[in-house]
Every structure is written in C-alpha cells, then in structure tokens.
Amino acid sequence: MRKLLKIRQVVNQGRSGTLPPVSDVRTRFAPSPTGFLHIGGARTALFNWAFARRHGGRLVLRLEDTDRERSTREAEEAVLEGMRWLDLDWDEGPHRQSERGERHAEAVETLLATGRAYRCTCTREELEERKQATIAAGGKWTYDGRCRDAGHGPDCGPHTVRLRLAPDARLAWDDLVFGPSGQEAREIGDAIIRRSDGAPLYHLAVVVDDLDMGISHVIRGADHHSNTPLQLAIYAALDATPPQFAHVPLILGDGGKKLSKRMDAVSVQHYRSAGYLDDAMRNWLVRLGWSHGDREIFSGPEIAALFELANVSRSSAQADPDKLAWLNQHYLKQMPRPELLAELTPFLEQALGHAVEPSDGLADLVDLLRERARTLAEMAEQATFVAVQNLPYDEKAAAKHLKPAARPLLEALHTALAEVDPWTPEAIEPVFETVRARHDVGMGKLAQPVRVALTGRAASPGIYETLAVLPQATALARIAEAIHFIKHGG
RNA sequence: GGCGCGUUCGUCUAGGGGUCUAGGACGCCGGCCUCUCACGCCGGUAACACGGGUUCGAAUCCCGUACGCGCUACCA
C-alpha cells in the first residue's frame, strides 16, 4: 500500500487552465485485447499518446485481459500491431491486468482490514428479489446494506466484498473535458469490489493499477464518466489521491448510431488493408472530437505539439469515411515516391495475383496516379495495366472506342510511334499532333482508342505519359492487338 | 424507470453576450482547365433542436421540453 501513496497530485486545472511546462504526466491506454484495435480505442490511445508527448510525459500500455476467453496472444498482438502502425509508441508495458491479481487481492485485504470494506453473504437471488421489491414499491435500488454491520469474518462462507461508502460523501471531480462532475454516494450504494469467486471487479482493478503505475491523467471514453464516482470512492478508501480525469466523447457510426461491427468499419486494420495511410488515419481520428482553430491537417509530430484537452469537444462525433478518403489522398499526394512505391507494391501484387518487379515505368506511374486515387487499393487497381500479362478490355470502353473508325488512326500511330526515340512524353506528343492533323480529327478521337489499347479502360493519366510508362515494345504490341481486335472482334 | 451527459450547415467543427447578415473543412451542386479520369482554380447550397426567461443586446448565461447517448451487473 505504501506504493500507492507515492502518487503525486498534478496541479489542478480547469478547462481553461494550463499545465506547468514540465510535469510528471503519465497517461495510459488500457484496451482489452479483442483481436483488433477499435477506432474508438485507437482515438483514445491517440489522445493519451498526444497528451503525454505534448507535456513531455510517458504513456503506459496496459492490457485488460481478465476475460481469458478472448484474450489470446494473437488478440493482443493485433491491438499492439494497430498501435505500432499508427506510430503510437508507448513508454512502458504492455502490462497485463491478469498478472496483477496479487496486487488487487492485497488492496481488497487492506480495505477489509481497515474496515473500508466488508464481507457480504447476500446471494444473487436474494439481491434480485429485494431489488424487484423496492422497485415495485416505487423506490430506487442501491444495495440495502444488510451485511454492512454484520461483521462477517473470512469464514462466513461464500461471500462478496463490498466497499463501505460514507452516505454523505460527495464524489466529485473536475473533469478536464466535461468540467465539474460528481455524484452523491447514496446514489451509488455499497458496490461489490470482489466477487464470490475471489476475482476483483473492474473498478477495483483499474484503480489499483492506475495507482501502482503512477498514472497522473486518466483519459478514456465518456462511457466511463458515470463510473468515475465509484472509482473516486475506491481511491478515497485506499487513502490515495486520484489522478485527473478526462472523458472523451464517443465516436458514432453512420446515422449517429453507435458504431456497430456489422454496419460500420470499426477496426483500424480494416482501414489499413483497404489502403489507407497511417498519417491519414491519425489525422482523421484526431479531428474527431478535437480541433485547433480552422486547421485540418496535422502530422503526428504536430499532433504531439498542439494537442490540448481543453480543445476536446463534449459531444459525440460521427465518423465520416469521406473525410478520411480526402485526407488519405492528401497524404498520398505528398508521400515521397520510394515510400509510396513500397506501400503500393503489396496492393498491386494482390490485385494482379503475382509478384511485381520494380520498374522505372511503375515508379513514374505512381506519381501520375497519386492525383487519381484515394486509397492504395484504388491506386493498385489503376496501375495493374503496367504489370499485367494479358490485358483485359473493359467491355464498355472497348465497345465505345475500339471501333472501325479508329483503326486507321491506330495504324498510323503504330507506324509513327515505332520511330520515336527517346521514348518520352515530350517526344511522343508531336507524333500525336501530326497524326491528328493529317487525319483531321480531334484529340479525343485519337487518344481514347489508344488509351483503351494500352490500359483496357477509358480513364487513365495523360495519354503521352501513359505511353511512356510502358516499354516502347509493349506499347506498340498493345496497339497492334487493338487493331487486331477491331479487325476480328473479341 | 432512476442518475448523468450532450444538442451550430448532411458530416467534422470555429465560436465563451455586441466585431455573427455565424467562419473553416469534407460532401454535394455549378463553372473554368482538358485527350479521358483526376488534380487544381473559381463560385454556390446549407446550421445556432424547441419554448421560456436574464440583458439595451444571446449561438454564447439560466430554466423547462424534445431528441440522442452513457451508466444503472458478483461485465470490462
């Protein structure tokens, strides 16, 4: 218990207050390892990370893995993987709640020894019965205190342990986001802190863990706002100074409803595999409930430099996938080429179904595509033509542009293009000009058939660039194929 | 049901009594650019939940209503 007393109180501050420049800020992220990192959890982690970094503090990672069923090693790893992907580096841990049973048990024993808690032999059935009775009588139910002064000893048979609350205690705190908050103890009642099977309850466990880990700021989802009074009571019973609390609003799904696993994309790995960038994801998440004036774009380091709890909203936010897509393209546009190439390759290989050799053409193409794709998956889709063996034609595109009228144009181009040297957009352009002038057609009539011949589709980057991205021989071969296609049909 | 919290354009938000005929961003619509698709640029649409107060003056303060969310477990 000594250890618990060491906790230092960080200067109390309201929403408008400021923190001392250097502090002992210690935040924590405490997810339960469910097999994926939920975007709500990811944002909570991000806020904790940002707050710690902003104030030169430390972030502690703690896995709340008491649900042994779901808490497999793989489930844990998935959560950590999500954190790493988002560059949310932690300074301590991961600690595991399951490994701290002894500390939880000790705390309960201390509480029992000091009379701050007592044993309760009421059974679930009895409790339920009395609860229904008082509700039927129009009353509000909290534990009626039957065992409060019964003085049950350790050998009283099956029992739970309850916290003895002073009925007139006002369990109040100044929430860093919600402001002054609190509840009367009598509205809570004597809560169970240890189950009859000896396992500690969540509220006891978090308090002991946060105390032991020296957490100065508990930043967590608003769903815990109304759990705080009880936890405050536990801190008090332990004679410990509670940390500061900041509750962040929940993230809602489409239509303002709670995020549902089947209706919404709730895990960060979903977005990752859909081709979203970590920078975009972080930026999107941080702007859900937090703002910094009119600014929209924030890099990781900028978040770490600018984040303040005072600018966190109190109302829940609806996740908007369109905004994420926009952010993603923004980051796609400014990502250094080698990096982008590396990120794209796995997506491209997946789209093609075979390995891809790096080439200058592909590298050039990536620069052309960053203006046209919102995700890596989209970009890969648009890039397949450079690396594909047998180019398939989009049916509608072929029907519209690979018509007999295009044949003489393609033939003229094929001949002229064979002479182009060097094979660059600049050298290719004049060829189109001459062919266009000679056949007296508009650019559209000329470019579209070529585009379909080269890419199989009606949309691609500029035609000269698209040509130059392919080896000259390949480009010529595809034009020849298109001519053949027009002659003989599919 | 009880307790708590929330409510500014479709969405994320700025805004802490006059400078708000409410600003930015995404989306959407229109235009320009143009070989397609994009990008870019220009322009437009669109909000203070409702009702009472307080005040010379309210998006901003107070009360109520409605709606939404959270908690209300020997779950976390």
- pLDDT tens string A210-240: 999 999 999 999 999 999 999 999 999 999 9
Q: pLDDT value at position A68?
A: 64
Q: pLDDT value at position A82?
A: 95
Determine the Cα–Cα distance for residues A253 and A321; give it in Å rounded to an integer. 10
**Nearest protein residue, CA measured to C1' of B74:** A195
Other beta carbons within 10 Å of A77: 12
Q: pLDDT value at position A477?
A: 96
- Distance in Å from B9's C1' to A283's CA comes to 22
Q: Are A45 and A88 in contact (CB under 8 A)?
A: yes
Determine the Cα–Cα distance for residues A319 and A2; give it in Å rounded to an integer. 44
Nearest CA to A26 out of A300, A189, A211 is that of A211
A219 phi, psi to nearest 5 deg: -110, 115
Q: Are A327 and A283 in contact (CB under 8 A)?
A: yes
**Nearest protein residue, CA measured to C1' of B12:** A288
Cα dist from A215 to A26, A43, A210, A383, A441, whole Å: 5, 19, 5, 49, 73
Determine the Cα–Cα distance for residues A263 and A336; give it in Å rounded to an integer. 35
Q: Is A140 a catalytic residue?
A: no
3-state secondary structure (DSSP) of residue A19: coil
In sequence order, what E strands does A21-104 have? 26-29, 58-63, 92-96
Nearest CA to A348 out of A298, A311, A374, A385 is that of A385
Determine the Cα–Cα distance for residues A191 and A214; give it in Å rounded to an integer. 24
Residue A267: pLDDT band with limits 50, 70, 90: very high
With vertex at residue A286, the alpha carbon angle to CA A281 and CA A288, rounded to the nearest 5 degrees, is 100
**Which nucleotide lies closest to A451 by the C1' atom and the CA atom?**
B36
Q: Are A276 and A324 in contact (CB under 8 A)?
A: yes
- Distance in Å from B37's C1' to A420's CA comes to 26
Q: pLDDT value at position A346?
A: 97
Q: Kindly report, residue by residue over A309-362, the tens digit of the pLDDT.
A: 999 999 999 999 999 999 999 999 999 999 999 999 999 999 999 999 899 999
Q: pLDDT value at position A3?
A: 26
Name A447's bridge partners: none
Q: pLDDT value at position A465?
A: 97
Q: Kindly report, residue by residue over A102-117, the tens digit of the pLDDT.
A: 999 999 999 999 999 9
Strand B positions within 7 A of protein Cβ atoms = 1-8, 10-16, 23-27, 34-39, 68-76
pLDDT at A300 over 90: yes
With vertex at residue A257, the alpha carbon angle to CA A255 and CA A259, rounded to the nearest 5 degrees, is 110
pLDDT at A13 over 60: no
- Distance in Å from B56's C1' to A248's CA comes to 39
Determine the Cα–Cα distance for residues A245 and A165; give it in Å rounded to an integer. 21
Residue A70: pLDDT band with limits 50, 70, 90: low
Q: Kindly report, residue by residue over A382-440, the tens digit of the pLDDT.
A: 999 999 989 999 999 999 999 999 999 999 999 999 999 999 999 999 999 999 999 99
Mean pLDDT, chain A, rounded, equals 90
Contacts of A70 (CB under 8 A, 6+ apart): A32, A33, A34, A35
> What ipTM was predicted for this assembly?
0.94
Determine the Cα–Cα distance for residues A381 and A352; give it in Å rounded to an integer. 9
Helix (H) or strand (E) holding A43: helix A39-54
Nearest CA to A307 out of A213, A175, A177 is that of A177
Helix (H) or strand (E) holding A238: none
3-state secondary structure (DSSP) of residue A258: strand
Q: Locate tokens 């032999």: which residue?
A: A121
The tokens describing A243, both together, are 């940390």
